[in-house]
Chains A and B, each alone.
Chain A
Amino acid sequence: NAGVTQTPKFQVLKTGQSMTLQCAQDMNHEYMSWYRQDPGMGLRLIHYSVGAGITDQGEVPNGYNVSRSTTEDFPLRLLSAAPSQTSVYFCASSLSGALRVNTEAFFGQGTRLTVV
């Protein structure tokens, strides 16, 4: 079972560069989300998706784009990297549906991003 796979594990970007963080899950989960983890601030939701073709903003969406063309993949794009986006990024997936709200999230190993 691969679960949730994130790539790359580490990345260094220069200010202004763009890149895509990849996230894939093989559990046929409808719900996928991206979080960033910063010291003292816990996990903050960037974007989430309740199914293929549907995305929505979380708490801190500025500077990030997402798309969900398939159930399995949910890439996160940094449009023009800034030092404030230095963080650890986690992708998560879970079962979803209006009648199944009480489900756990499965997390990837994380991507440590540094913007210089």
Chain B
Amino acid sequence: GNSVTQMEGPVTLSEEAFLTINCTYTATGYPSLFWYVQYPGEGLQLLLKATKADDKGSNKGFEATYRKETTSFHLEKGSVQVSDSAVYFCALSAPQSTGGFKTIFGAGTRLFVKA
């Protein structure tokens, strides 16, 4: 079946540090890959996505590249800010035989950024 594995947190960084959050997946076929962010007390919001191999998703300084050969979609940011403190979820979306699709989420990685 489909699954998503992401690095355990929490991750604690100082402001302006480089961020990497690892994500690997298992899926049949060709899923779409996503990163969602959850700020305290809120629901999840889409951060970026990639729909095919070698695509790079980017938003708000965050980037992730769809690597089919390593089944990975690692999230990176060159210089984090305190406001980036949140929980980050890697997810995949794959079609179902019944029609439509199903989205599977990783366990989430909590990021703390210190001033």
Chain A positions within 8 Å of B, measured between CB atoms, are: 4, 30-31, 33, 35, 40-45, 48, 50-51, 56, 58, 90, 92, 94, 96-98, 101-105, 107-110
Contact = CB atoms under 8 A, between A and B. Distances in A.
Contact of B98 (A45, A56, A97): A56
Nearest to A40: B107
Nearest to A4: B43
A102 B100 CA distance: 10
14 contacts: A4-B43, A43-B105, A45-B102, A45-B103, A92-B44, A92-B103, A94-B103, A97-B100, A102-B51, A103-B93, A104-B46, A105-B103, A108-B43, A109-B43
A107 B44 contact: yes
B47 to A, nearest CB: 10
A31 B103 CA distance: 11
Contacts of B98: 50, 56
Interface of B: 32, 34, 36, 42-46, 49, 51, 89, 93-96, 98-108
B107 A33 contact: no
A81 B72 CA distance: 38
Given A102-B51, A105-B103, A90 B43 contact: yes
Contacts of B102: 45, 48, 58
Given A42-B89, A43-B105, A90 B100 contact: no
Contacts of B95: 98, 101
B18 to A, nearest CB: 24
